[in-house]
Amino acid sequence: MMFPSKAFLSILFVMLSSADASPLRSDARKATLSFAARVNARGAVNVAAADRARVQAMKQAGSMGKRAGKSSFSITNAVVTYTAQVGIGSPATEYTLIIDTGSSNTWVGANTPYNPTATSVDTGNTVDVSYGSGSFFGEEYTDTVYLSNTLVITGQSIGVASSSQGFSGVDGILGVGPADLTESTVSNVDIVSTVTDNLYSQGVIDTEALGIYFVPPDASDSAGELTFGGHDSSKITSPVTYVPLTTTSPASSYWGIDQSISYGGSTILSETAGIVDTGTTLVLIASDAFSTYQTATGAVMDEATGLLTITSGQYDKLQSLTFKIGGKTYDLTPNAQIWPRSLNADIGGSSSNIYLIVADIGSDSGSGLDFVNGYAFLQRHYSVFDTTNNQVGFANTPHTDDKSN
């Protein structure tokens, strides 16, 4: 049976606990997958450039339509990544897989070889996926997958890499994005059912929804969780409010929503389409909105990190950044707008500097993907990705107003 890993090579370590609530029904079945979050230590890292490259590739893939196939985006260069220990086969071999809401193929073999067992079936199909700076090619198998003792999937499509590039220290990816992103990735197959799809279709969970709870890295409570089939009501301080997925392309190819953003009560980005993405570290906004934000805060650009930096005096005057999503507003307080100072060195920054987590997406508003609510937003607000009802939900948490950064 599957079991949580006892150790991860990471700078920022977060083990996740169990949950017992659903976004739609209090008696629904649900379960939690333990995982670790880490900030990749690579010396001087231009964190904004890494995020920008990811979103630009996502835009390109999304604009090509749902059959983007081999034109995907970079996961391997992400500054913050999330890994789970996943068992495959019977008896199960354990693999370290990146959890990603922006891709949907699940595959192994980048480091630990795939070990076929009695539950493994070679379909004869090939799998070929590119992630910008990384890629893999191999065969498709179906097999039993153990996400945890209570999250067991039979007949899950698994890519088995015969060759891969760019995946150091991990074995592959656990894709939890929209299933349409798998189109044209597996020969002789239209759309591949994701792990979330199969958990739902096999009756393991009652709602095809994924709840994610992150916390600021320097918070006194370092626990977080990822829940299949619902959300954990004990981790939120407000009701979960849902909004429909956007219909605007290319944001509509991912977990896309419509929102507006204001700073200090003044709108800097009118309502437009963008995405919610665990694989993006920062909050990225359209270039025109970014320019307005930089002027309002008085920040200057730090070329080493790619982030805006402010003085202590400017920090004292920093105002809230407000996201209006549907009829609800969600604030990033002044403390939530700064990079955790204890992690400055991990992005090539100075320990004495104050860096902002808002960055330029690289194009003006009106592109169809004008913002990304990344990890910096999600560590302050609970998120629910609901496939059953084509919606995304948010709620405040005990860490929404933290001053730990």
Active site residues: 100, 277
Amino acid at 314: Q
Whole-Å CA distances, 26 to 30, 111, 148, 211, 307: 10, 40, 21, 14, 42
Assigned token pair, 19: 């949950």
Q: Give the start-end residues of each E strand in 316-357.
A: 321-325, 328-332, 354-355
Amino acid 356 reads: L
- Secondary structure, 3-state, 111-132: CCCCCCCCCCEEEEEEEEEECC
CB count within 10 Å of CB 304 equals 15
C-beta separation of 347 from 354 below 8 A: no
| Phi then psi dihedrals of residue 320, to 5 deg | -70, 145
Q: Name the DSSP letter for residue 59.
A: H
Question: 175 near 136, Cβ under 8 Å?
Answer: no
Provide the token pair at 228: 């299949």
